[in-house]
Every structure is written in structure tokens, then in C-alpha cells.
Amino acid sequence: MNEVRRNPWLVLAVLCSGHALVLLDLSIVNIAIPSIVDGLHASFDQVLWIRNAYILVFAVLLITAGRLGDHYGPRRVYVAGIVIFMAASAACGLAQDPDQLIAGRVVQAVGAALLTPQTLVIVASIFPAERRGAAFGTWSAIAGMAALAGPVVGGLITTYLSWRWVFYVNLPLGLAVLLAVRPVVPALDPGRSAGRVEPVGVALVTAGFLAVMFGLIDGQRFDWGVVTRVGAVPITIPAVVAVGAVLVAAFFVRDRYQRFPLVPMSLFDDRDYSVMIWVGLLFFFCQLGIALPLVIYLQSALGYTPLQASLTLAPMLLLTVTLPPLSGRLTDRLGGRYVITLGLALSALGMAYLALVVSPDATWLVLMPGLLASAGGTACTIAPIAAVAMHRVRPQVAGAAAGLLNTTQQLGGVLGGAVIGAVLQAGLAGGLRDQAVRLSGQLPPEQRQAFVDAFAGVARVGLDVGRDATGVPAGLPALQTGLAHDAFALAYSGAFRASLLLCVAALLTGAVSCVALVGRSRPKEAEPAEAAASRPAVEGGDG
């Protein structure tokens, strides 16, 4: 292990390879969805669950997975995650119907959740405090690279092989990571103070977050109304979310009195960690919540093809890959307060600029300054959030800290998708009718009302209009399609502008919150924990 202690970057490379595998798989599968639909004859609801089942299970298990790492050792749980992910990938590739594929995706998410928090824990343990920013910057860059490569790799695989190879490709890649883990990654001793994982707490937090996130992810599909009925009793989305919130609250109330809590309240004694939980939620609320509306704007309002939209976003994605190592080094040198504040402000500036210029006539050149500013802000934010949050965390609770940090970020993204989607849909519903009424004056009187009424269905589906490349309601006479697209593009641009301004407000709130960060100074009582965290390995700590 001495060689590993002298070269923690080799450890980082192995850890990032497993984490990148999870992110690569997610983006590859999105590209392969049309081929999966053809191959397995999946319905629209089944297609949604092929994607959403993974997101749901991954998000709700992160806290438990982090605590399992504290108890059994992060390397052991990381290895278990890779093994489960590989086995589930094989099952997904062999699936003969959509239900089998959905089940495989659920198990894939279990493996992904197990390994993800362990990467943060081990990186925080093997790098000294003054170099963690650079390490997390590299971690963030590799994650971005995986997300960037996913659509390309997925397109090549589905074009020249089969959608099944989207999953089979995980087997040789996962095996390579497994073979490298034991000789390279140190076995950190979890220690007795890590305690056991309490099953009632696991059940409460899992069920609670599952209900909340299910409601937020699928709420729009059920029009925020009835999901199903038990006899004569309707089960509604608000009721599901409310029950989930009550379960989560009950978990935290109960957990604080446990000898070995799943989420130790002592984590929140560290002001920097608490602030990063809040800032991370706000940041991912904006970045993940606005991603789909941006793609719909490019394709449906501006009429770009998927390739043209990808090329428009490519410079933005490249910045999120190349800049994080630099922002990480700046965090080591200057402290996270300044770098994260700059990143949030830059993202807010980019979205504010986009809100000013979005229109049906905007070109990629006009949009580019806002896209680049937002991407630059992202590069200055993701890695420093992790570095600052994990800066003072004791090694005995590092897994719990990493799990909660990842969970709140996922929750922020899901919440952003729901809230921004609702804002977008509300603006689109009103704007479509207004624009249709205004433009109908160019039609003969007998055609005007039918033209206006044709948009009622489009307003109801909201974000689902992204499935239509033009945003034009079906069934209109050919002569009206030009006016229909103009009405949709104008309405969508206005609704998208409101969504962007909501993100600006959230990002500026996060930037102001960074004033509360303690900064680079560390209290004396934190020094022993920091020293313990910097020890990379205890032989025999885990398998």
C-alpha cells in the first residue's frame, strides 16, 4: 500500500472509472430508448419507468449506501456496488420484455447508489485538505466527460450493434475496474464508532424519499391528480408527496435519538457542511431542472434537429469537462467561499442573459454567451461544493455525509424538474391561447376558432411537446401549420423566460448564502479528525 499512499491520483483514477460507468450508462440509455421501444414493444408509460425507476431508486438509497460504507468500509461497499451493477447490466441486456428491463434497471440503481458515495469518502480520506479541491475538480471533470461521451457512444452502439450492447458494454468496463480496485484502492478501517445500520430508519427514509420523489417526477404525468384508487378512495399525487414528507420528518425525529443514527445530527454542527447542503440543493434545482426545457426550446421553438441542438450545447459541455480541475485548485488556494460564489453568480448571469435574448428568432450565436457563462458557473460550483462540504467531516461519518450530500442534490434536481416544469406549463398554457388568438386574425373568420381550440391539447401536455419536432398540434390544415408553429414558438419562449428568471433568483439566493461559510480556517478540535481522515489505509479494514 505504500505506493498508493505516494500516488493518490491513481486511486482517484480507479474510483472515477466506476463512477463514470454509472453516469455513462444513464446517458447511453437515454439515447437508446427509441431502439428499446422497437425491440421490446414498450408502451409510453413503460418507457418512462425504464428511465424513472433508475432515478428514483438511485436517489432514495444514497443515504443508506453512504452509511453502509461507514459500517462495512467504503472499499467493500464500492466493490459490492460494481458487482451488482454489472450483474444487473447483464440482466438488462438479456431482458425479453419491458417489465424485465425495468426490474433490471432497479437493480442497476441499487449498485449505482452503493458505489457513488464511496468515491467522495475515499477521495476525502486519501487527499490532504489542501489538495482536495483539485482532486474533486478532477472527479467532476471525469464525470462530465462520461456524461458527454454517453450520447456519442450510445449512438454508435445502437447504430452498429444493438440496444442490448448499451448494457453489455458495462461488463468488460466493470470487470476492469474490479480488477484494479484491490491492488490500488486502500481499505479504510470503518472503526467501531461507525456503528450499525438501523433497519427501521432505513425503511422510513427510503419509503419517505421514494414517495416524495415519485410524486415530483411523475406528478405532471398524472396532471397532479389521481394516481390510482383503493376501492373508492383516490390516491392523489399531493397525498403521496405529503405522506412521503411525513415519513421523512418522522425519520429525522426518530433518528436523532438513535445510538447509531443514519444521518448524525453532528454533521450540521459544521456550518460549511450545512450551507453546502442548501447551496447544492439550489444549484441542482436550477441546472437539472432547466436542462429539458432548454432542449425543448432548441428543438421545438427554434426548430433545430437533435444534431444541431447537440452541437449548440457542445461548447457548454466541454467547459464543464475542462474547467473543474482549475476551479478545484482555486478552491485549495483561495477557499470555497469565493469560488462557489463566483460560480453561482456566473450561472445566474448566464441565465439572466438567456432570459433577455430567448425568442423564436434567436440564433445559436446569440445564445452562446449565456450558455458559456452558465457552463463556466457550473464548472466553478460542482467540485468546490463537494470539497467544502467534506472538508471537516470526521471519517467515522464520512459515508453518511456523502450520502446526504448526494441525496439533497438529487432531490434538488427532481424538485427543479417539477417546479420549473409547472412554471413552464402554466406559462405555456396561457401564452398559447393568447398567441393563437392574436395570430388567428390572419385566417379566414370561419377557421379562427378551430385554430385556437387546436392548442388546448398542447397546453395540457406541457413539456411533452418536446416529442414533436415542431411544436405544432396534430390535425391542422397544412396552410395553418406555419402560424401554429409561430404561436407555439412565441408562447414557449415567454414561458421559458419565466423559468430562467426563477433559476436566476435561486442561484442568487445560493450566492448570498455563501456569505455564511466559515472559510479556510479550521477549529482546533477538528484537527485530530482531519489527521485521521488523511490516513489512507488500515490493512484489513475491509475486503
- Of 207, 236, 259, the residue at which a domain comes to its end is 259
What are the pLDDT digits (tens) for 505-536?
A: 999 999 999 988 876 544 333 333 333 433 43
**What's the average model confidence in pLDDT over 133-139?**
78
| Residue 260 phi, psi (nearest 5) | -125, 80
Q: Which of the two residues, 144 and 215, has the higher pLDDT score?
A: 215
In a domain, 187, yes or no: yes
What are the pLDDT digits (tens) for 54-63?
A: 888 888 888 8
| Residue 360 phi, psi (nearest 5) | -65, -15
Distances (CA, A) of 395 to 5, 162, 237, 389: 17, 44, 39, 13
Residue 236, strand partner residues: 226
In a domain, 176, yes or no: yes
pLDDT of residue 370: 94
Highest mean pLDDT among 3-17, 416-430, 432-446: 416-430
Residues 102 and 64 in one domain: yes
* Range of weakest confidence among 184-193, 297-306, 342-351, 408-417: 184-193
In a domain, 369, yes or no: no
- Of 178, 195, 212, the residue at which a domain comes to its end is 195
- Give residue 457's pLDDT band: very low, low, confident or very high (50, 70, 90): low
Q: Tell me if residue 307 falls in helix, strand or coil.
A: helix
Distances (CA, A) of 127 to 95, 132, 266: 42, 6, 23
Rounded to an integer, what distance in angstroms lies between the CA atom of residue 133 and that of residue 364?
A: 33
- Of 259, 287, 302, the residue at which a domain comes to its end is 259
| 277 CB neighbour count, 10 Å cutoff | 20
Residues 22 and 81 in one domain: yes
Q: Tell me if residue 472 falls in helix, strand or coil.
A: coil
Residues 190 and 240 in one domain: no
- Average pLDDT value for the chain: 79
Query: Into how many domains does the chain fold?
Result: 3
Residue 228, strand partner residues: 235
What are the pLDDT digits (tens) for 60-102?
A: 888 888 888 888 888 889 999 999 999 999 999 999 888 899 9
Residues 225 and 116 in one domain: no
Q: For residue 97, what is the domain's CATH number?
A: 1.20.1250.20
**What's the average model confidence in pLDDT over 405-425?**
85
**What's the average model confidence in pLDDT over 155-176?**
84
In a domain, 133, yes or no: yes
Whether 387 and 331 have beta carbons less than 8 Å apart is answered as yes
> Is the alpha carbon torsion for 432, 438, 443, 446 positive or negative?
positive
Rounded to an integer, what distance in angstroms lies between the CA atom of residue 403 and that of residue 65?
A: 7
Residue 113, strand partner residues: none
DSSP 8-state secondary structure symbol assigned to residue 198: P
Place of cell 482546533: 524
* Range of weakest confidence among 174-183, 190-199, 387-396, 487-496: 190-199
In a domain, 417, yes or no: no
Q: Which of the two residues, 80 and 316, has the higher pLDDT score?
A: 80
**What's the average model confidence in pLDDT over 293-321?**
79
* Range of weakest confidence among 39-48, 278-287, 407-416: 39-48
Rounded to an integer, what distance in angstroms lies between the CA atom of residue 114 and that of residue 110?
A: 6
Residues 93 and 210 in one domain: no
Q: What is the domain extent for residue 239?
A: 198-259
* Range of weakest confidence among 14-18, 325-329, 466-470, 515-519: 466-470
pTM: 0.78
In a domain, 28, yes or no: yes
Residues 105 and 223 in one domain: no
Residues 30 and 168 in one domain: yes
* Range of weakest confidence among 261-275, 389-403, 495-509: 389-403
Residues 202 and 81 in one domain: no
Residues 97 and 208 in one domain: no
Checking if the pLDDT of 3 tops 70, the result is: no
pLDDT of residue 334: 77
Q: Tell me if residue 407 falls in helix, strand or coil.
A: helix
- Give residue 446's pLDDT band: very low, low, confident or very high (50, 70, 90): low
Whether 69 and 396 have beta carbons less than 8 Å apart is answered as no
**What's the average model confidence in pLDDT over 488-510?**
91
